């Protein structure tokens, strides 16, 4: 199965026809000349920069200035840049969850769970996207941290954020929201789902991998000044890792400017999302509503491998999403849309997925 799904896959002989729906570059900014120019300039001026841990940076370092810019854009007190979304989630949970109850959506990202485990937190699983179950658990156990994803990264479904935050507020719980797949792509000016649910305090702590719409190798924690100081100086993932490179900082800074003015790309992505989901539902895939990620769920590994082969042959590159451990009976083939896809590309994707319905999945 590893050979069929990962190791031995090859590109179509006709590279010009390949439609890739694997990347998380949702706004198709990865090759933008403004980003490349900013990175080249940083390389020429600074090389690889100061190779040291981030707590040792001066207050006027470009990384600190970028953190302040992102904080102002998001309307939060403070932002901490980290090496990845994983380290952002792990570090925040490690410092916040010590001695605290954690109420985690059952499909929240693993890095959030690992951070809570590192803090030796008391963890309660909330049924996926179920505010009533969250209410029941908070009433029974008392307040703590409510841990959610804005967009869940396999099926692309959105959390019912307004309902979840209302329940959390009722019991004095704080919400931790992973915006990795929404930041840049969703919300006003791309500021994510939290920007659409009222005052910033409704979501106390936000994290994101910038390896999605921001096309960078970095992560952020957007939070209060107090929590930011805890992450910066006490989180192991921050204290014992080196800073970002100057080219990383320059690239993210240039990307933020593009994201702020990318309403047309976001509207394009939303239209593609609606058309794909409606088309897949008509074919019987039952994907329902959601964001720019959709998954075709299979019941067995051989059937999943067949679907991968069929789509590869049609020059449609998708991703089998079963590692590290397959979940029996629930094996997704994931499609990630991006704003540069054309209507013809979408037609080809739907034509190819229709072929998969000729036998059970």
Q: Is the peptide bond before 146 cis (omega within 30 degrees of 0)?
A: no
What's the token pair of residue 306?
């067949």
pLDDT in tens, 231-269: 999 999 888 888 899 999 999 999 999 999 999 999 999
Cα dihedral 320→25→207→292 (10° resolution): -60
Contacts of 198 (CB under 8 A, 6+ apart): 162
Cβ atoms of 222 and 70 within 8 Å: the answer is yes
DSSP class of residue 5 equals I
Q: How many other C-beta atoms can be found within 10 angstroms of the C-beta atom of residue 114?
A: 15
Residue 19 parent element (H or E): strand 19-20
Cβ atoms of 86 and 98 within 8 Å: the answer is no
Tell me which residues of the chain have a pLDDT lower than 50. Answer: none
SS3 335: strand
SS3 303: helix
Closest listed residue to residue 268, CA positions, set 352, 189, 191, 337:
337
What's the token pair of residue 136?
């029941």
Q: How many other C-beta atoms can be found within 10 angstroms of the C-beta atom of residue 67?
A: 23
pLDDT in tens, 73-123: 999 999 999 999 999 999 999 999 999 999 999 999 999 999 999 999 999
Q: What is the pTM of this model?
A: 0.95
Rg for the chain (alpha carbons), in Å? Answer: 21
Using H for helix, E for strand and C for coil, what is the string for 206-241?
EEEECCCCCCCCCEEEEECHHHHHHHHHHCHHHHCC
Q: What is the pLDDT of residue 356?
A: 92
Closest listed residue to residue 244, CA positions, set 79, 117, 110, 113:
79
Q: How would you classify residue 205: left for phi > 0, otherwise alpha for psi between -120 and 50, otherwise beta?
A: beta
Q: What is the pLDDT of residue 13?
A: 52
Q: Please state, in angstroms and as integers, the Cα–Cα distance from residue 225 to each residue in 101, 186, 209, 246, 355, following that order.
A: 22, 25, 20, 24, 53
Residue 304 parent element (H or E): helix 301-313
Cβ atoms of 148 and 164 within 8 Å: the answer is yes
What's the token pair of residue 360?
């059970």
CA distance 71 to 165: 21
Q: How many other C-beta atoms can be found within 10 angstroms of the C-beta atom of residue 199?
A: 7
Cβ atoms of 232 and 226 within 8 Å: the answer is no
Closest listed residue to residue 331, CA positions, set 83, 154, 139:
154
DSSP class of residue 349 equals H
Count CA atoms within 13 Å of residue 234 on its CB side: 16
Cβ atoms of 233 and 240 within 8 Å: the answer is no
Closest listed residue to residue 288, CA positions, set 128, 148, 167:
128
């Amino acid at each position: 199965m590893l050979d069929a799904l990962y190791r031995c896959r090859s590109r179509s002989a006709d590279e010009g026809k390949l439609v890739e729906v694997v990347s998380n570059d949702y706004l198709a900014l990865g090759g933008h000349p403004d980003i490349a120019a900013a990175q080249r300039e940083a390389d020429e001026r600074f090389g690889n920069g100061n190779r040291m841990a981030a707590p040792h940076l001066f207050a006027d370092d470009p990384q600190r200035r970028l953190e302040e810019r992102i904080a102002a854009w998001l309307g939060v007190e403070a932002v901490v840049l980290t090496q990845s979304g994983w380290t952002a989630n792990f570090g925040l949970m490690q410092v916040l969850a010590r001695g605290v109850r954690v109420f985690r959506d059952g499909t929240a990202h693993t890095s959030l769970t690992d951070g809570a485990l590192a803090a030796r937190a008391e963890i309660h699983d909330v049924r996926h996207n179920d505010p009533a179950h969250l209410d029941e658990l908070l009433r029974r156990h008392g307040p703590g941290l409510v841990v959610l994803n804005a967009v869940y990264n396999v099926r692309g479904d959105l959390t019912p954020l307004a309902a979840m935050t209302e329940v959390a507020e009722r019991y004095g719980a704080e919400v931790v929201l992973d915006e990795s797949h929404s930041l840049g792509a969703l919300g006003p000016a791309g500021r994510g789902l939290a920007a659409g649910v009222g005052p910033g305090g409704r979501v106390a702590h936000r994290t994101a991998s910038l390896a999605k719409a921001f096309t960078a190798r970095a992560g952020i924690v957007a939070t209060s000044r107090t929590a930011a100081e805890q992450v910066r100086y006490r989180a192991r993932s921050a204290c014992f890792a080196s800073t970002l490179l100057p080219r990383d900082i320059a690239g993210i800074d240039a990307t933020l400017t593009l994201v702020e003015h990318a309403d047309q790309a976001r509207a394009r992505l939303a239209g593609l999302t609606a058309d794909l989901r409606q088309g897949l539902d008509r074919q019987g895939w039952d994907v329902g509503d959601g964001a720019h990620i959709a998954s075709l769920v299979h019941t067995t590994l051989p059937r999943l491998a067949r679907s991968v082969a069929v789509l590869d042959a049609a020059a449609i590159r998708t991703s089998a999403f079963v590692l590290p451990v397959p979940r029996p009976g629930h094996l997704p083939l994931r499609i990630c849309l991006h704003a540069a896809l054309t209507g013809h590309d979408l037609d080809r994707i739907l034509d190819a997925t229709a072929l998969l319905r000729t036998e059970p999945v």
